[in-house]
Amino acid sequence: MRLAGQNIRSLSSQSFARVLPMGSSEARIYITWNSIHFSVKDIRGGTISFTDTKFISESDHRRYTARTRPERGDILYTKVGSYGRCALIDTDLDFSLYVSVCLIKPKRNVVDPTFLAAVLGSQLVKAQADRRVKGIGVPDLHLDQIAQFQIPIPVLSNSKHFLGKRRF
C-alpha cells in the first residue's frame, strides 16, 4: 500500500507489538493511598486521567505486575465496556491495571509508539474493534482479537511525517 508517496505495510498488531493482559477480574479492595490502579474510566481523550484514581495495596500491585509492568512508551487499550480507548503512557509512575485494560508493548525497532497510539485511537481501528467485540450488556474485546487488528505501519523513519497528518 502507498499513502502520500510513502511505503506503508498493513500488519496485524501481533507482528509489531505484544498485547498483554493485565490485572485480574477479582474484586478489589481499594484503599486511600498506596499503589495506583487504572481502569477504563481513567483513559479518556487519548490520555491517562489522574482525577479519580483508585489505589490498591502494595501486595496486590506486586501480584498484578509480576509478569510485566507498564512503562513509558507502552500503550493502554480498553477492552471491556467502553472498549477502543487508548493512551500512550507518558509517565514513569509505577501502576497496575484492571482486567478491562490491556497493555500493548510496541516493538520500538519496528513502530514508533506515538504513531501506534494515534492509529489505535483512530476510526480505522475502532471500526475493526466494533466488528470483533463480543457481548451485548458488557462488550468485551478479547486479546486475540486486538492482536489481529490490521494496522498501517510506515517505515519507521516516516512515522513522524504521518503523525502530522493524523488521518488514518
Residue with cell 467502553: 82
Domains of the chain: 2-165 (3.90.220.20)
Question: pLDDT per position in the chain (168 positions), as tens?
Answer: 334 444 545 566 666 677 766 555 555 454 455 678 788 899 988 999 888 888 888 888 888 888 888 999 999 999 999 999 999 999 999 888 888 899 999 988 888 899 999 999 999 999 999 999 998 889 999 988 998 898 888 776 655 655 555 554
